[in-house]
Amino acid sequence: MTGKERTIYRCQSCGYQSAKWLGRCPECGQWSSFVEERLVTKSQRHSARAPREGLKPVAITQVSADERERLATGIDELDRVLGGGLVPGMVVLVGGDPGIGKSTLLLQVAGQMSRAGHSVLYISGEESAKQTRLRADRVEALSERLLILPETSLERIIEHIEQIRPQLVIADSVQTLSSELLQSGAGSISQVRDVTGHMVDMAKTHGIATFLVGHVTKDGALAGPKVLEHMVDCVLYFEGEASHTFRILRAVKNRFGSVNEIGVFEMARDGLHEVRNPSQIFLNERAEYTSGSVVICTLEGTRPLLVEVQALASPSPLALPRRVATGFDVNRVALLIAILEKRLGLHLHGEDVYLNIAGGIRVTEPAADLGVAAAIASSFRDRPIAPRTVIMGEVGLGGEVRAIPYLEPRLREAEKLGFQHALIPDANRPVSIPPGHIQLHPVSSLAAAFDGLF
pTM of the model: 0.77
Q: If DSSP codes are grouped into helix, strand and coil, which group holds residue 400?
A: strand
Beta bridge pairs of residue 246: 266
pLDDT band at 1; cut points 50, 70, 90 = very low
Query: Is pLDDT above 90 for 403?
Result: yes
Return the closest-CA partner of residue 349 out of 341, 339, 358, 360: 341
| pLDDT of res. 260 | 77
Task: Find the DSSP H helices in 24-153.
Answer: 42-48, 76-82, 102-115, 129-138
31 has pLDDT over 50: yes
Residue range 55-61: average pLDDT? 83
Q: What is the mean pLDDT of residues 139-163?
A: 95
Residue type at position 321: P
* Domain boundaries of the chain, sorted by first residue: 1-41, 70-276, 281-453
Select the more confidently predicted residue: 84 or 218: 84
pLDDT in tens, 164-206: 999 999 999 899 999 988 777 788 888 888 899 999 999 999 9
Q: What is the spatial distance between Cα 298 and Cα 366, in angstroms, rounded to a whole number?
A: 9
Instruction: Tell me the pLDDT band of 430, cut-offs 50, 70 and 90.
Output: confident
The listed CATH number (3.30.360.10, 3.40.50.300, 1.25.40.320, 1.10.1660.10) that belongs to domain 70-276: 3.40.50.300
DSSP strand pairing (401-402 vs 394-395): antiparallel
Q: What is the pLDDT of residue 233?
A: 96
Class of domain 281-453 (CATH, top level): alpha beta
Residues 130, 71, 119, 199: is their CA dihedral positive or negative? Answer: negative
Q: Which residue has the higher pLDDT, 21 or 13?
A: 21
pLDDT, average across residues 237-253: 84
pLDDT confidence of residue 384: 95
Helix, strand, coil percent values for the chain (each to nearest 5): 30, 25, 40
**Average pLDDT of the chain, as a whole number:** 88
Instruction: Flag whether pLDDT at 225 surpasses 70.
Output: no
Does this chain's domain 70-276 share its CATH topology with 281-453? no
Q: What is the pLDDT of residue 255?
A: 93
Mean pLDDT of 110-121: 96
Going by the DSSP 8-state scheme, the letter that residue 32 receives in this structure is S
Mean pLDDT score, 44-71: 68
The confidence score (pLDDT) of residue 53 equals 56
- The DSSP annotation for 332-370 comes to HHHHHHHHHHHHH----TTEEEEEEEGGG----SGGGHH
pLDDT the model gives residue 427: 93
Q: What is the mean pLDDT of residues 407-423?
A: 92
- Helix (H) / strand (E) containing 162: helix 154-164
pLDDT (tens digit per residue) in 258-315 = 887 889 999 999 999 999 888 888 888 788 889 999 999 999 877 899 999 999 999 9
Q: Mean pLDDT lowest for which of 78-87, 171-180, 241-250, 350-359?
A: 241-250
Mapped onto helix, strand or coil, the DSSP state of residue 258 is coil
Q: What CA–CA distance (Å, rounded) separates 160 from 403?
A: 56
Phi-psi domain of 247 (left: phi exceeds 0; alpha: psi -120 through 50; beta: other): beta
Closest-CA residue to 244 (of 277, 267, 221, 272)? 267
Q: What is the pLDDT of residues 336-352, one digit of tens each?
A: 999 999 999 999 999 99
How confident is the model at residue 150, as a pLDDT?
Answer: 95
List the one residue out of 173, 169, 71, 155 whose CA is nearest residue 121. Answer: 169
